[in-house]
């Protein structure tokens, strides 16, 4: 027989917990950023709640300022690089989509002034295609949400977001380079581009 023995894990009872383990359990059950002692912050009386929220906010602001100051001492440009990489670059997608979404209603009045035969009297353009400019964008949003949801659930969120970015890029390129041999053709391309952009 070899000298090998099966290791046995000790069993712990509630009374066997040492104080540090009880503190760990207490910290897990009542985290200090949500509880005052064992009372949830929203259950505190109003005056205590306001004091607790202000204390938490000031503590977190001080911690962030210390981290920012330490980062600034190491490299004065790093906070600006972090800001642009975290907020500006990632916010560009929201900006582009918002710009496209809100530009349709604003541009329609401009189109009516420049091409009244198409956008007001509908003599050179079909009314249905002109009207589709206002609702195809919403249809694109709905299709995009459903598609990203399905891809995100079946394949993964990363691929859903990649698909969303690719379709938005195609729609933005179409919107930027839309062209038609006639005004009616241009309106059709404009409507199709709006279907793609929010998808």
Please tell me what DSSP assigns to residue 14: G
Digit-coded pLDDT (tens) for 11-64: 555 555 555 666 777 778 888 888 888 899 889 999 999 999 999 999 999 999
Digit-coded pLDDT (tens) for 174-188: 877 777 788 888 888
Tally of CB atoms within 10 A around 19: 7
Residue 151: closest CA among 167, 129, 171, 127? 167
Q: What SS3 state is found at 36?
A: strand
Q: What is the pTM of this model?
A: 0.50
The residue among 167 and 49 whose pLDDT is bigger is 49
Q: What is the pLDDT of residue 181?
A: 83
Q: What is the pLDDT of residue 63?
A: 93
Question: Which helix (DSSP H) or strand (DSSP E) does residue 171 occupy?
Answer: helix 157-176
Q: 96-101, long-range: CB within 8 Å, 24+ apart, which pairs?
A: 96/168, 96/172, 97/168, 97/197, 97/198, 100/137, 100/172, 100/175, 100/194, 100/197, 100/198, 101/137, 101/198
Q: What is the pLDDT of residue 14?
A: 55
Q: What is the pLDDT of residue 54?
A: 94
Digit-coded pLDDT (tens) for 109-166: 888 899 999 988 999 888 998 888 878 888 888 888 888 888 888 888 888 878 888 8
């Amino acid at each position: 027989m070899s000298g090998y023995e099966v290791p046995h894990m000790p069993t712990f009872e509630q009374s066997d917990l040492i104080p540090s383990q009880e503190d760990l359990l207490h910290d897990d059950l009542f985290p200090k950023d949500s509880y005052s002692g064992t009372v949830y912050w929203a259950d505190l009386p109003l005056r205590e709640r306001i004091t607790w929220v202000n204390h938490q906010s000031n503590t977190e602001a001080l911690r962030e300022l210390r981290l920012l100051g330490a980062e600034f001492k190491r490299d004065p440009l790093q906070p600006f690089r972090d800001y642009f990489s975290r907020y500006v670059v990632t916010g560009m997608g929201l900006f582009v989509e918002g710009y496209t979404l809100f530009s349709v209603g604003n541009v329609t009045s401009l189109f009516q002034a420049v091409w009244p035969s198409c956008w007001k009297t509908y003599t050179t353009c079909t009314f249905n295609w002109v009207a589709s400019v206002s609702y195809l964008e919403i249809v694109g949003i709905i299709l995009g949400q459903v598609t990203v949801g399905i891809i995100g659930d079946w394949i993964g969120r990363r691929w859903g977001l990649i698909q969303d970015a690719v379709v938005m890029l195609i729609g933005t390129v179409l919107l930027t380079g839309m062209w038609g041999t006639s005004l009616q053709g241009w309106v059709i391309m404009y409507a199709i581009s709006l279907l793609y952009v929010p998808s």
